[in-house]
Structure 1
């Protein structure tokens, strides 16, 4: 028998929350259970014969027996005489005589159903099941349309725990008497016991409609509706029970419990009904613990916490082991934020009812609010063990792990939860976001692939393509984007990604065809117009390129990509004044663009504005020091002796080639390279320049690899150095740059590149020397100052580093990284005289406002900590750890910072980052 079915036998109903307190009084259906007693007792009630039996008769009993026998002698055909005598004898356990009287009566009164039924009851009391079974089988066969015998056998079968047989008899009974009240009531009770709740409802509702006034029936109906989740129907049923028994304590309890479960959704209209019901209960039992506890709960709901506390404490004085009241008292303290008192109340209640999930959760929450996070974690972990599929609990626990920087537990719990709830997309997205924020692309891809097998849609397919693209797997990415379009043919992002892949892989013909189709469906799409125009320009289809650009700029007049292509087209057409205006407009829209400055420098030179040209080229190099085109144009526009110094004896042969390549006349330059009489090193260097300037790095030639020799001109060595630098061959690049500096010792841009490479290999002092030479030439170059600031910090030149950072911030007041680095210096300088916590906090706040990276959030947290605001420091660090993106290796440092903040010792140094 299930727990729920058992409740209809015991009268104790299960509860899932404190709002549905268990009924602690006699069962609501005692009157219904009377039907289960032996039929002799039924007859006793019907005939109003409350005899008390005994074996040895008293004189009074002998006189009574004589009177009953005399009555039969006087009226031998009177049914009631036999019934009364039989009942008298049965009560004195004189069963054989009882049976004799009943048999004699049946002969005298052949149509007496009551005497036959009493005979059946007599056999039941004697406990001979075979005899009972045979009796009813014969009787029902003899009287097939007499429903009373089917009802009696159904009752007997139920008492023998044979509900199915009992229901068979009742179904047979309904064929002859479909509106039999007792049968429907019995069928309802039986079906409750075996879990057939909906059919039980049908029988009980039918019974209630057949005979009004049976409150216990409506109580049963209410319980069934409530268990089926139909609170409104349960309330209607229990109200009907209360119409018949308005002062019934159990029914009022039942009514209160239902109203309490309704509070969350219909509070305003429920409070008044609940108040009236509890007032009635208080009138009936003013000193009852259940009534006082639930009155306290109502007061808590109404916000009257003082009255709630008083009522609940009084309830517990009357019944100290009342766990529900302890839990509700804990809720009162929670509302007051009296966390310790709340914890004590919940712990006391849990001592009485140890595994109550709601109370365990409230206890965990109390510890959480009190700041005892570790105790809260232990409780939540226990709850999650009980119910691993409880998603809100899992997320609550993960949130606490975040607060305690328990990164391993975060990942472990999310992974375990995702296995328990593989179809839950919210959890899958949280885990996926965590994986991606830690750069765990393989794990993220594996997770998303498993999700796609069960929940494939265009969004998931597209994200798979993005992940594969991030991993550099172009073919796999292409396959996922194509699947995206199979599911969602109009997905614009997938169409663009496929075209981008074609362009990256130089598959220009399919890219152009896809762009054409895309522009048919999206004729105003800026990206597609720009890409199509770029391809037309590359193919030298200038009229078509111009047409696309004119259309695009009519629709998107401020488009930098379209304006840039317009400038390139005008350069191709040698319309230099118009090209100048185009690139100047771009410069106004997008400042600090090295490539745009280089175009402007070239155009101004071609227009004869040489000073302006040099300024643009310097600006290009100040923005991006490794701009090869700008660097070589700067050399090209110098005097002849400078060019001879750079290119050596081959300058005359190389000059026309360089002029063509640097002014973007690539076809002419290529032909001249092939025709020129140059040594192999110079020829290969110029070929590489031809490819580099057209962004065709896949066609570079690396043979020979090392030419850092004075026998080769500085310009050729620089070209080879740049090539190695571009490909990440730092040692070879540095060797070439250093060899060039032997002959061109003061070139700031080569010093800048050499300094960066020295810094990368850990030669901080050498790097600083290179940066200083570059700074001597350009003392206000933000880029050079920034590099110098880094090596100054690495060399522990704190005062110099602070001075450099201050100058950088003067140049760029909103450069977040500079603000952050200066703040960190003010907080961690070894020389305590240089520390300035107040200024550090000001700088860190501004840095985070501009860019909330993990480094900047960490610096702000450190500033709060050193300012004596440990709680704010922890809050800031938690926010950064949760929201920012950083590698998994950073987690150990963040945990160390958190533990340091929690200890509260500002004199302790921050932990090492790695």
Structure 2
């Protein structure tokens, strides 16, 4: 057999080639990183991606959920935003107006509810909530007309009858109110506001225990509706059950702490029970929530008076009176506080103001006599 002559095999220098490749990659990466750092310094940080805002209809749903959960401020914000995104969305205006009614911003509520009717005059909801807003604003004749319109546009719309029942009751027609409230219950007894107005119809008929039972049944499903606790407390107060009233009003302040009226009502009950310290705290919270709430200032002044704090009493009584709460008691007590501080020149004015309201006011006469 044939044997080839032996030749030494050439060694491949693969390791040298790999080393060169690694060095080249390292140099390239270093240059690229420096370039990216330079670009980043010139350009600045990239903006954080902004999530897409939800639609007007979705805001409407958010508002509905917040309302039923008792978060009225959140509901108002959602409905307001819905109207900004879609100025033709009538339900957003109507439901925003309804929240404003429960916040006792009734003039604003009427204006917004009218806008809903302008947008969609064939909407029973628009007419029904306009009925509610007008009623709470003291425009009862117009409220009745709006409620009738709601039931005419859609004879099967339960809230139309419910709000019309409320207006009839405030007009002094409790029997008509009861008939319409029952009709609303027949159409939709699961609607919380239909049930609330059924309780109100009982209340107007003097059936206070039935009213409380209806309100309490409603709260079993919707436990955070603060205004329903106010309804319960009002009925307990009529029944002279101050403990029950205080408990209901206190609960209202817990589930809806942003409602100044709830704090005023709770403070008024504990004031009547002689707890002036607790009353002071409640009224103080109310004026912090709403500095323009005249009744809250006046009640706070009365609580300070009972605690013999004449100076603070004067401040808040004057503020409450200037904001419109010119009750005889406020005028007389303000005069007394001033007289206790030897400021009879100012006190006489308020005693005389009280006598214009009630010429036979004994405290006003006594105050005048003490200053002369």
Q: TM-score when scaled to structure 1?
A: 0.22
In the TM superposition, residue 539 of structure 1 has moved relative to its aligned partner by 4.1
Q: Whole-Å Cα distance in 1 between the matches of residues 164 and 300 of structure 2?
A: 45
Q: Whole-Å Cα distance in 2 between the matches of residues 494 and 506 of structure 1?
A: 19
Q: Whole-Å Cα distance in 1 between the matches of residues 342 and 317 of structure 2?
A: 17
Structure 2 residue aligned with 1:11: none
Structure 2 residue aligned with 1:441: 174
Structure 1 residue aligned with 2:42: none
Structure 2 residue aligned with 1:467: 201
Asked if 1 retains the 8 angstrom alpha-carbon contact of 2:158 and 2:187, the reply is: no
Q: Whole-Å Cα distance in 1 between the matches of residues 229 and 313 of structure 2?
A: 32
Q: Does 1:562 align with 2:296?
A: yes
Residue from 180, 185, 188 that aligns with 1:455: 188
Q: Whole-Å Cα distance in 1 between the matches of residues 237 and 166 of structure 2?
A: 29
Structure 1 residue aligned with 2:239: 505
Q: Whole-Å Cα distance in 1 between the matches of residues 166 and 284 of structure 2?
A: 42
Residue from 518, 521, 525 that aligns with 2:255: 521
Asked if 1 retains the 8 angstrom alpha-carbon contact of 2:351 and 2:365, the reply is: yes
Structure 2 residue aligned with 1:608: 342
After TM superposition, list the pairs within 5 Å mapping 1:279-428 onto structure 2: 423=156, 425=158, 428=161
Q: Whole-Å Cα distance in 2 between the matches of residues 622 and 585 of structure 1?
A: 20
| SS class of match (1:520) | helix
Q: Whole-Å Cα distance in 1 between the matches of residues 227 and 244 of structure 2?
A: 17
In the TM superposition, residue 435 of structure 1 has moved relative to its aligned partner by 5.5
Structure 2 residue aligned with 1:617: 351
Provide structure 1 residue ranges, at least 5 long, that are not aligned to the other structure: 1-413, 640-914
Structure 2 CA distance for partners of 1:443 and 1:514, relative to 1, 3 Å: closer
In the TM superposition, residue 638 of structure 1 has moved relative to its aligned partner by 7.2
Deviation per CA, 1:156-206: give whole Å up to 9, x if none. Answer: xxxxxxxxxxxxxxxxxxxxxxxxxxxxxxxxxxxxxxxxxxxxxxxxxxx
Q: Whole-Å Cα distance in 1 between the matches of residues 164 and 307 of structure 2?
A: 54
Q: Whole-Å Cα distance in 2 between the matches of residues 569 and 430 of structure 1?
A: 37
Q: Whole-Å Cα distance in 2 between the matches of residues 555 and 430 of structure 1?
A: 29
Q: Tell me how many residue pairs correspond in the alignment.
A: 223
In the TM superposition, residue 526 of structure 1 has moved relative to its aligned partner by 1.2
Q: Whole-Å Cα distance in 1 between the matches of residues 307 and 172 of structure 2?
A: 46
Deviation per CA, 1:57-86: give whole Å up to 9, x if none. Answer: xxxxxxxxxxxxxxxxxxxxxxxxxxxxxx
Q: Whole-Å Cα distance in 2 between the matches of residues 526 and 613 of structure 1?
A: 30
Deviation per CA, 1:369-388: give whole Å up to 9, x if none. Answer: xxxxxxxxxxxxxxxxxxxx
After TM superposition, list the pairs within 5 Å mapping 1:716-727 onto structure 2: none
Q: Whole-Å Cα distance in 1 between the matches of residues 171 and 324 of structure 2?
A: 32
Q: Whole-Å Cα distance in 2 between the matches of residues 528 and 437 of structure 1?
A: 21
In the TM superposition, residue 542 of structure 1 has moved relative to its aligned partner by 4.3
Structure 1 residue aligned with 2:139: none
Asked if 1 retains the 8 angstrom alpha-carbon contact of 2:246 and 2:266, the reply is: yes
Residue from 296, 309, 316 that aligns with 1:575: 309
In the TM superposition, residue 631 of structure 1 has moved relative to its aligned partner by 4.3
Q: Whole-Å Cα distance in 2 between the matches of residues 460 and 483 of structure 1?
A: 12
Asked if 1 retains the 8 angstrom alpha-carbon contact of 2:280 and 2:304, the reply is: no
Q: Whole-Å Cα distance in 1 between the matches of residues 160 and 287 of structure 2?
A: 45
Deviation per CA, 1:771-817: give whole Å up to 9, x if none. Answer: xxxxxxxxxxxxxxxxxxxxxxxxxxxxxxxxxxxxxxxxxxxxxxx
Structure 2 CA distance for partners of 1:441 and 1:633, relative to 1, 3 Å: same
Structure 2 CA distance for partners of 1:464 and 1:580, relative to 1, 3 Å: same
In the TM superposition, residue 463 of structure 1 has moved relative to its aligned partner by 1.4
Deviation per CA, 1:344-389: give whole Å up to 9, x if none. Answer: xxxxxxxxxxxxxxxxxxxxxxxxxxxxxxxxxxxxxxxxxxxxxx
Q: Whole-Å Cα distance in 2 between the matches of residues 583 and 609 of structure 1?
A: 15
| SS class of match (1:574) | coil
Asked if 2 retains the 8 angstrom alpha-carbon contact of 1:512 and 1:532, the reply is: yes
Structure 1 residue aligned with 2:332: 598
In the TM superposition, residue 541 of structure 1 has moved relative to its aligned partner by 3.8
Structure 2 residue aligned with 1:700: none
Q: Whole-Å Cα distance in 1 between the matches of residues 160 and 314 of structure 2?
A: 54
Structure 2 residue aligned with 1:728: none
Structure number with greater CO (CA < 8 Å, separation at least 6) is 2
| SS class of match (1:637) | helix
Asked if 2 retains the 8 angstrom alpha-carbon contact of 1:484 and 1:491, the reply is: no
Structure 1 residue aligned with 2:219: 485
Deviation per CA, 1:849-898: give whole Å up to 9, x if none. Answer: xxxxxxxxxxxxxxxxxxxxxxxxxxxxxxxxxxxxxxxxxxxxxxxxxx
Q: TM-score when scaled to structure 2?
A: 0.50
Bigger Rg, structure 1 or 2? 1
In the TM superposition, residue 619 of structure 1 has moved relative to its aligned partner by 1.0
Q: Whole-Å Cα distance in 1 between the matches of residues 163 and 273 of structure 2?
A: 47
Deviation per CA, 1:613-639: give whole Å up to 9, x if none. Answer: 2321111121344645434544x5377
In the TM superposition, residue 497 of structure 1 has moved relative to its aligned partner by 0.6
Q: Whole-Å Cα distance in 2 between the matches of residues 550 and 544 of structure 1?
A: 10
In the TM superposition, residue 430 of structure 1 has moved relative to its aligned partner by 9.4
Structure 2 CA distance for partners of 1:438 and 1:620, relative to 1, 3 Å: closer
| SS class of match (1:447) | helix
After TM superposition, list the pairs within 5 Å mapping 1:109-128 onto structure 2: none
After TM superposition, list the pairs within 5 Å mapping 1:240-251 onto structure 2: none
Asked if 2 retains the 8 angstrom alpha-carbon contact of 1:592 and 1:623, the reply is: no
Structure 2 CA distance for partners of 1:624 and 1:467, relative to 1, 3 Å: farther
Deviation per CA, 1:99-136: give whole Å up to 9, x if none. Answer: xxxxxxxxxxxxxxxxxxxxxxxxxxxxxxxxxxxxxx
Q: Whole-Å Cα distance in 2 between the matches of residues 599 and 437 of structure 1?
A: 32
Structure 2 CA distance for partners of 1:537 and 1:627, relative to 1, 3 Å: same
Structure 1 residue aligned with 2:228: 494
In the TM superposition, residue 581 of structure 1 has moved relative to its aligned partner by 2.0
Asked if 2 retains the 8 angstrom alpha-carbon contact of 1:564 and 1:582, the reply is: yes
Asked if 1 retains the 8 angstrom alpha-carbon contact of 2:169 and 2:204, the reply is: no
In the TM superposition, residue 442 of structure 1 has moved relative to its aligned partner by 0.8
After TM superposition, list the pairs within 5 Å mapping 1:59-78 onto structure 2: none
Structure 2 CA distance for partners of 1:429 and 1:463, relative to 1, 3 Å: closer
Q: Whole-Å Cα distance in 2 between the matches of residues 521 and 599 of structure 1?
A: 33
| SS class of match (1:621) | helix
Asked if 2 retains the 8 angstrom alpha-carbon contact of 1:462 and 1:494, the reply is: yes
**CA RMSD in angstroms, aligned pairs only:** 3.6
